Structure 1
Amino acid sequence: MSTYLRLRAVPPPALRNSATWLERLFGDSSAAVRHRLVRHHEEVLDKRYLDQERIYAGALSHRAEDRPRTQVVLGGRPVFRPDRHKPPLLVLTAAQARRVAGFLATADFDALWDVARDELVPRYGGVTAEPETWGAFAAAHQELKAFYAQTAEHGDAVVKWLPA
């Protein structure tokens, strides 16, 4: 399995429901993508992306349509690849990306950390390494927050790719 997850903002009119087209978004050089899509914003999460999702899984959702904890890192509508052994690409609509941006803008990272802490700290060196662990997850949270804020500001959708 890959050690990172890539998220890319895409203007909704440019979005295609084709795994081949979506894969090309990530295979092209940044300059080619920037030229084709006019805007370009991408976030790359390292091997901790699965654990980053655990932080958001502890967030309370008050309404069914507010399910950012299932969309922030790993969520989205799957677009299956021709090779079914590879993980699907995931797509969030512009509306879903706005909801995630809203959630992240108001989320209290420390409160989220407190819920996930007991599960995560032992995996990353225990209590003695907690300040560094907290720092790495807090930095990823800030990067996601910035990514989704910019994505929402432009009205873009999000495509997620887990290279196989």
Structure 2
Amino acid sequence: MGLKIVKYDKVPEVGYLEYIKEWELSGEKIVPMASERRSESFGDLLAKWSTDETDEVYKKGFVPAALYFLVDKKKVLGAIHFRHELNDSLLYNGGHIGYGIRPSERKKGYATKMLVMLLDLVRTKKYKKVLVTCDENNTGSARTIENAKGILYDKIELEGETTLRYWITLDSRE
């Protein structure tokens, strides 16, 4: 298996288009939202994702972030979004990391593998800990976070929904 995470600028266009089309046809909310294509061309998306890593995003109320994809050969299995810092909103709902696996590839352990691969990458960038959140009713995501050594910090209520907040310590690889 050639499973790896690659930055947005290394994902094959055909693989991305196949991945995002499956999400769109499913009718589900695309997660992470940063991987949506809306009506943009692939070239426009690459430019947007590049800008997302810069201070330009502060003007829109966002924080710099990088988008990665989980790829097996040329097939895109999922996407994971790493926010370089937390603002007040992300501290309560969103955290540093958002991720999703395309509908046909779920329940195969890919989410945990993708999260662990990203954590290994983030660890090299000198982060000490990261926050990952999920909806209380998303047991699959909670299990993924816990499998990646996430420790439940608390549960918070926002607009009638309960969010679980987990911290993952990145001091050293065990």
Check whether TM > 0.5.
Answer: no
Structure ranking higher in strand proportion: 2
Structure ranking higher in helix proportion: 1
- TM-score bracket, normalised by the shorter chain, equals under 0.3
**TM-score, with normalisation over the residues of structure 1?**
0.26
